Chains A and B, each alone.
Chain A
Amino acid sequence: MAQDQNFDFNVPPQFEKISKNIRVIVGGLIVALLGFSTFFTVDPEEVGVVVRLGKFVETVEPGLNFKMPLIDQVELVPVERQLKQEFGYRTVQAGVQTQYQKAGYEDESLMLTGDLNLADVEWVVQYRINDPYSYLFKVRNAESTLSDISEAAMRQIVGDRTVNEVLTVGRAEVSIRVQELIQALVMEYEMGITIEQVVLQDINPPNPVKPSFNAVNEAQQQRETLINQARADYNRVIPRARGEAQETIQRAEGYASERVNTSEGEVSRFNDLYTEYVKAPQVTKQRIFLETMEDIIPKMGKKIIMDENGNNVLPLLQMQLNGVQNSSQQNNNGGN
């Protein structure tokens, strides 16, 4: 009251009316402020946790909600949103072409495998807050706790597997086991979180070793290529050889039937002739002989018929024959 009076003295006359109503104005402002602080909105993906004088009262659903002014506090927890933590890399800019940052997170991703080799594992833990009460009041820094848990879990699982398992066939199994382990620990710590999925991103050998791992893949390809080439060669040669073999055999079969048929034909002809021949051998022979001579003698060159007493002319004839041959040779030479 004393202050109000002091205050009045300093006020210029033109503000006197306002200053007389100052209590009403201030009171009105306070009421308005209190009024505004009694309601609050909860987004569709959230719930509101209402704490009255430090004590948890209730969780409220999305929409417009009311609370007691001054003594109630509200914490909004996004229970419907899928949250994620990345290990071994960070998404710099999400979008159609998401950009990743990998440098600087090697310590997070480099781990020992069960056969004391090293592997570079990058993964994402996707989770949701399913119990806002535990999430807020049971564990301090639930996020950093989750990140500790998943690093420990991933290393425990990878530590029980060989580097080959981790890099190749074991991927799916690793992510399932890690998810189970993280979920179990999260339950144990009462963090109010549920793990939806553990996704393994790149699993690589460490950078200095990568070229030699690639060399293995290359060698594997080379092996396939060599084998395929050899197979192709085989396939090029062998079917053709089979065909050629068939040809050889069929030619032989052709020869065989020709040979047999010929013989049968000739024999048949011979037999027919023979049947007649035995009836009159001398005449038949005579006839055939003469027919043959008739046939062949006109086709021959020089023919000289001699009496058996004229043997002495033979040398003469020999010379003549030679002369004929020589002259014909000379003619041939001259012609050439």
Chain B
Amino acid sequence: MQQAKGIIAGVIGLVIVLTALDGFYIVHETEQVIITQFGDPVGEAITDPGLKFKIPFMQEANFFEKRYLEWDGDRNQIPTRDKKFIFVDSYARWQITDPLQFYQRLGNERGAQSRLDDILDGETRNAIASHDLLEIVRTSNREPDTTGAVILEVIEDSLQTINTGRETIQEEIQTKANERATDLGIVILDFRIKRVNYVEDVRQTVYDRMISERNRIADEFRSEGQGEASRINGEKERDLKRIQSEAFREAEIIRGEADARAAAIYNSAYNRTNQSRELYSFMRSMEAYTKTMDKETNIILSTDSDFFRYLNSID
């Protein structure tokens, strides 16, 4: 009997403890809570963390994230306005700002993610389809800076001008998506395009284009090298001829001047008077005789000559 009493007391005690425990709940720093009573929301959202109490069993605590949450878009294949087939991979950050509304409209996070898929994918599709690829890739109209790149000697680097740019498109998508999400208790804090790339089969044509462009550059380099080498070769030939001919000219001038000077010197002496001319002619003849006569020369001398005249007579 006493045992049965004890058991009953124990059970009652347990029930009281369990009841009390169900009334307590902990709100974590990262959470916010909506209290529902038989499914109907009661009061404001509880956002400050700590130990809280609710009516046990009648009320239920529904926990929601307070942090910034991620949304990762599917890899979407979308044609741009200029009919380039690309895939776009985007992400967004969002937050539950009104947990009550969130609870009523979306229920839980999974519901929210799928609604975000609808909204953001749709807006992305619209935005991409109404812009050229360039507007999606580029952000600003900055001037390319390639100072010091050797390749620039050959090709001119340039970026086409854009009107909108990636940042504006992203903001546009974000704004429109937020408009559609106003009554969902969430706000999209940031939307960004993560990856943009050509679809597989377009990629090959882009590669082909890049390859042909590079080949062009390579050809230009090569022909530039040949041209430059020819130029230097020509320079060499030119300089060579110039140097040689200049040297020849100068040498001839020097020789000519020397000849002239020598002639002048000779003339100044030989051409002074009749006597000097006579002496020169005589001396030169003597010299010439000396040089021209040798063993092979046979000579018949007349006794009439100046040399032998004394052989005839001493007069």
A interface residues, Cβ below 8 angstroms from B: 1-3, 5, 51, 53-56, 107, 110-118, 136-141, 144-145, 148-149, 151-152, 155-156, 159-165, 168-170, 173, 185, 188-190, 205-206, 208-209, 212-213, 215-216, 218-220, 222-227, 229-231, 233-234, 237-238, 241-242, 244-246, 248-249, 251-253, 255-257, 259-260, 262-264, 266-267, 270-271, 273-274, 277-278, 281, 285-286, 288-290, 292-293, 295-297, 299-308, 314, 317, 321
**Contact at B298–A185, with CB atoms within 8 Å?**
no
Measured between C-beta atoms, what is the minimum distance from A210 to chain B in Å?
Answer: 10
Does B57 have its Cβ within 8 Å of any Cβ on chain A?
no
Known A226-B225, A253-B254, A299-B294; contact A114-B214, beta-carbon cutoff 8 A: no
Summed over the interface, the residue pairs from A and B with CB atoms below 8 Å come to a total of 367
Q: Which of B167, B221, B259 has the most CB of A within 10 A?
A: B221
Set B65, B146, B261, B301: member contacting A263, Cβ < 8 A: B261
B244 within 8 A of A: yes
B12: Cβ under 8 A from any A Cβ: no
Asked if B138 contacts A140 (CB within 8 A), the reply is no
CB distance from A165 to the nearest CB of B (A): 6
Return chain A residues, CB-CB under 8 Å to B40.
Answer: none
Are A267 and B145 closer than 8 Å at their CB atoms?
no
Of all A-B residue pairs in the complex, the 7 with the closest CB atoms, nearest first, are A223-B225, A256-B258, A245-B247, A252-B251, A263-B262, A230-B232, A219-B218
| Residues on the A chain within 8 Å of B194, using CB | 148, 151-152, 155
On whether the beta carbons of B307 and A219 are closer than 8 Å, the reply is no
- Is B240 an interface residue when CB atoms closer than 8 A count as contact? yes
Q: A270 to chain B: which residues have CB within 8 Å? A: 269-270, 279-280, 283
Q: Which of A107, A110, A170 contacts B146 (CB 8 A)?
A: A170
Contacting B207 at CB < 8 Å: which of A137, A139, A209? A209
B137 located at the interface, meaning its Cβ lies under 8 Å from any Cβ of chain A in the complex: yes
Shortest Cβ distance from A91 into chain B, in angstroms?
22
Interface residues on B, range: 35 or more
A155 near B304 with CB under 8 A, answer: no
**A223 and B221: CB pair below 8 A?**
yes
In the complex, 16 of the A-B residue pairs with CB atoms within 8 angstroms, ordered by the A residue number, are A111-B196, A115-B160, A165-B146, A209-B207, A216-B151, A216-B221, A226-B226, A238-B236, A241-B243, A267-B268, A267-B270, A274-B276, A285-B282, A296-B293, A302-B299, A305-B308
CB of A281 within 8 A of CB of B275, answer yes
Residue numbers of B with Cβ under 8 A of A are 3, 6-7, 10, 26-31, 48-51, 65-70, 72, 91, 93, 133-134, 137-140, 142, 144-152, 155, 157-160, 166-167, 189-190, 192-198, 203-204, 206-207, 210-211, 214-215, 217-219, 221-222, 224-226, 228-233, 235-236, 239-240, 243-244, 246-248, 250-252, 254-255, 257-259, 261-263, 265-266, 268-270, 272, 275-276, 278-280, 282-283, 286, 289-290, 293-304, 306-308, 311-312
Query: In the complex the two chains form, is B262's CB within 8 Å of A262's CB?
Result: yes
Q: Tell me whether B151 and A118 are in contact (CB under 8 A).
A: no
User: Which residue on chain B has the smallest CB distance to residue A117?
Assistant: B210
Q: Is the CB of A252 within 8 A of B210?
A: no
- For residue A224, give the distance in angstroms from its CB to the closest CB of chain B: 7
Shortest beta-carbon distance, B81 to chain A, in Å? 14
Q: Which residues of A contact B160 (CB under 8 A)?
A: 115
Chain A residue at smallest Cβ distance from B133: A116
A288/B250 in contact, CB under 8 A? no
Instruction: Given A55-B50, A148-B70, check contact A263 B265 (CB 8 Å).
Output: yes
Q: Is the CB of B275 within 8 A of A117?
A: no
* Set B251, B258, B262, B299: member contacting A248, Cβ < 8 A: B251
Check B301 against A54 for contact (C-beta < 8 Å).
no
Whether B298 contacts A136 by the Cβ 8 Å rule is no
B262 touching A259, Cβ below 8 Å: yes
Q: Is the CB of B297 within 8 A of A301?
A: yes
Known interface pairs A267-B269, A300-B295, A307-B303; A156-B139 also in contact (CB < 8 Å): yes
Contact at A255–B258, with CB atoms within 8 Å? yes
B306 to chain A, nearest CB (A): 6
CB neighbours (8 Å) of B266 from chain A are: 263, 266-267
